[in-house]
Structure 1
C-alpha cells in the first residue's frame, strides 16, 4: 500500500516503515561518526521506541557497544492500519543491530505493570545476567495502578489559570490560549503517571532479582525551560511530576548502594509529548530558529550522544548545583533566551514566519512518523506488516 501522513490533533495516525528505518539509520550514522565511549555494556531502556528513549538506545549501542534490551508499548500493523512509528523504529533498530553484531531485544508491554517487569527480568537473566545502565524514558498519558485504578495525567497549571500566546501550526497563525488550573486530584494523578514511583519500582525490582550490576548507573529525563513556559511546565502539573522524579533520583541513590542515579534535564524538542503541550510548540519553533542561527541546534540523537559520551561516563559526571545533568545548557544560554524573549513580546501574525521555524517544526514532526525523510520513495508500494525479530507473534 502507499502510506501517507494523516494528522489528527498533535499526532499522526499513520507511520511509514521505510521512513522510520531511514530515520533510525541516520541516527546510527551520526553516532558512528562520533568518538566511541567507554561506558555501559548491558543496557535496559524503558521507553525505547521513539524520541529520547530510542536515541539513547542507539547511543549506548553504537557508542559504547552495549547490548540493549528495550521496553515499549507499541502496536503492530493490522489490516489497512499501519503499525505505530515506535514499532517500525524498533524493527529497524533490531535489524541494524543484528547486522552489526549487537545484541538487541525488545519487550512489548505496559511498563507500569508487574507482568512487564517480570518478563524483562526473566529476559535479563536468560541473556545478559545483569544490566549496568538503566534508562527510564516513559511518557504516557495514563497508568493503571496496582489496585486496578487507572489514573490520567493532565497538562494544566497550578496556582492560577495562565493565558499566553499559542500557535495553530496548520494555519500558521497566533492566538491566545488560557490553561486552566489543575485540581489537587489531577496533580496527584499526574505525579502518579509521570513521577518517579514507577522508576523506583523498576530499580528495586531489578535489584531484588539480582539483575542490577554493582555500580550501575540510571537516568530519567526531565525539562525545565524558560520563564515563559514555567506556568505550563516547570510550575504546572507536569512540573510537579518532574519534581517527584528528581526526588526519586536522590532516593534511589540512597536505597541501592553504589548506584549512580541522575535526572537529565534535556532540551526542548519536537516529540509526541511536547507537541501536546499548549504554548510549547510556539516556543520550540522560535527556539529552533534562534539556535540554528547561532549554530547551537541539536536533535534527540545529538543530545543523547552527548549524555552518554560527555555526561554519564565522564569522570566525574558533570552536574549542576542540585545534582542534575544539564543537557539544556545550550538552550538556556543567556543570548538564546534573551533573543527569544525579545521576539516573543513583538510576535504577531505578520512577522511569525520571519521569526518562527515552522517548517523545521513540521519537518521534525513528520519525521517522527517516518515521513519527509530524504531518499525515501513515498509513492512506492510498501508492506505495512513489519515484524520485530525479537517479539513473537
Structure 2
C-alpha cells in the first residue's frame, strides 16, 4: 500500500496525496452546494481547469449553476511509487467523478493548451458531443513555459522587477525560515518572454479558433483573471514582469471584444484577490504579504480561498446583481483586499515581521501553509486515510 508524504523544495511541492486531492475537491463541492443553486452558463470551456482559480471556477459553475464543463490542463499521471504524478491529475479525476454522479458532462483534456492540435480536438468535441456551442470560455492558464504553436520556439517567463533590483523579505516553507532576498531587474528579452508566456496572446488565439469554428453561442462571455495588488507589492508584481503580462491581457480583451461583437459576445477581465496557489507561493516576497494580509482579513471575516472567491465572482458578480467595475471596465472582486483599512493594517504588520515572529500567532503563516498543503492533498479537512495501491491509481481514468 502506498504511503503519501509531503515533500518540499523551498516553496515548491514535490509530493502528492491523491486521496487528499479528492477530498479537497469534495470539500469545495460541498461549499458550493451549501450555498444553493444560481442561474448561470450551461456549456462551459475552462482552459487551465485542474487547480486553484480554474478548478474552483469549474466547481462553482458545475455544482452551483448546473453547467456541463470541458476542462483543459497539462498534467501527469502516476508512473511509479516515487513519481505519483501531479495534483491536478487527481483533481481532474475527482471532479469528473463527482460531476457525472450529478448527471453533468465533465470532459477532461489533458494536453498542451498552447497547441493548435489541442484547440482543434476541443472544437471537434464541442461540435460532436457537447451540443455544438459554449456560452462561457474561462481562460485560467498558469504556466512558466510556452511553445509558440507556429514557430515552435519555446519561451520561459521570468518573475522579476523592471528598472531596478528589489530587495525585500521572503520565507522558505521547507526550512521555515525568514530571510532577505534580492530580485534582479528583468532584461528586455525577459520582459517580452514573460508577456509571450503569461500574456493574452494564447487567450486570443483560443477565441479566434472557437469563433472561426462557429462553436460560440450568441452572447458568449469569456473571462480571464488578473491581479493588480497594492503599493505593498506593486514594485515586484504590478510594476514587474507579471504586471506587463497582465496588461497585455487587458489589451487582448479589447481585441476579443471586437472579435465577438457580431455575436453579442464579451471579454471580461477579472481582477482577482490574493490567494494561495502554487504560483503565488514562489513569487518572491509575495508569501510575506500573504501571511500578513490573511491575518488581517481573517480577523475582518473577509479572507477567501480560491473556491470562496470564485463562488463570489460568478454567483454574485458575473451572473448575480452585485458587480463592481473600475473605469477600465474590469470586474473588481479584489475590493476586500484593496480596502484602505485592510491595507494599512497589513502594512503595519509586514513592517513588524522578522525571523523570530513570522511564523507565530502574529501572522497567518499556519493558514498559508495549510492552504498551500491542501493544493497537493495534505492537511485536508475531513480526510480519512485509505489503503490504495499504485495499480489502483494507474487504473483511474481522467
Q: TM-score, normalised by structure 2?
A: 0.95
Match of 2:259 among 246, 255, 259: 255
Aligned to 1:18: 19
* 2:381 matches 1:374: yes
Alignment of 1:148-297 (within 5 A): 148-257=152-261, 258-297=264-303
* 2:339 matches 1:333: yes
Equivalences, count: 390
Deviation at 1:273, TM superposition (A): 0.7
1:213 aligned counterpart, secondary structure: strand
1:2–1:378 CA contact under 8 A, matched in 2: no
2:112 aligned counterpart, secondary structure: coil
Name which of structure 1's ranges 79-88 and 186-195 shifts more when overlaid on structure 2. Answer: 79-88
- The CA RMSD measured in Å over matched residues stands at 1.5
* 2:386 matches 1:385: no
Q: Deviations over 1:119-175 (max 9, x none)?
A: 100111112211000000001011011201101000001111111122233444322
Q: Distance in 1 between matches of 2:379 and 2:36?
A: 29
- Structure 2: segments with no counterpart, 5+ residues: none
CA separation of 1:108 and 1:8: change in aligned 2, threshold 3 A: same
Q: Distance in 1 between matches of 2:170 and 2:146?
A: 29
Alignment of 1:351-362 (within 5 A): 351-352=357-358, 353-362=360-369
Aligned to 1:28: 29
- Structure 1: segments with no counterpart, 5+ residues: none
Name which of structure 1's ranges 229-238 and 252-261 shifts more when overlaid on structure 2. Answer: 252-261
Name which of structure 1's ranges 254-263 and 344-353 shifts more when overlaid on structure 2. Answer: 344-353
CA separation of 1:260 and 1:270: change in aligned 2, threshold 3 A: same
Q: Distance in 2 between matches of 1:94 and 1:77?
A: 18
Name which of structure 1's ranges 344-353 and 45-54 shifts more when overlaid on structure 2. Answer: 344-353
Q: Distance in 1 between matches of 2:389 and 2:337?
A: 39
Q: Deviations over 1:61-106 (max 9, x none)?
A: 0111000000010001012221210000010000001111111001
Q: TM-score, normalised by structure 1?
A: 0.96
Aligned to 2:138: 135
**Structure ranking higher on relative contact order (CA contacts 8 Å, 6+ apart):** 1
2:44–2:69 CA contact under 8 A, matched in 1: yes
CA separation of 1:378 and 1:316: change in aligned 2, threshold 3 A: closer
- Stretches of 4+ moved more than 6 A in 1? none
Q: Distance in 2 between matches of 1:249 and 1:24?
A: 30
Q: Distance in 2 between matches of 1:253 and 1:350?
A: 51
Deviation at 1:356, TM superposition (A): 1.8
2:171–2:285 CA contact under 8 A, matched in 1: yes
2:11–2:172 CA contact under 8 A, matched in 1: no
2:179 aligned counterpart, secondary structure: strand
Deviation at 1:365, TM superposition (A): 1.0
Aligned to 1:110: 112
Q: Deviations over 1:297-354 (max 9, x none)?
A: 1110111111111121135853111111112111111111000111222322333224
Q: Distance in 2 between matches of 1:317 and 1:377?
A: 39
Deviation at 1:377, TM superposition (A): 3.5
Aligned to 1:97: 99
Q: Deviations over 1:36-80 (max 9, x none)?
A: 221100000000000000000001101110000000100010122
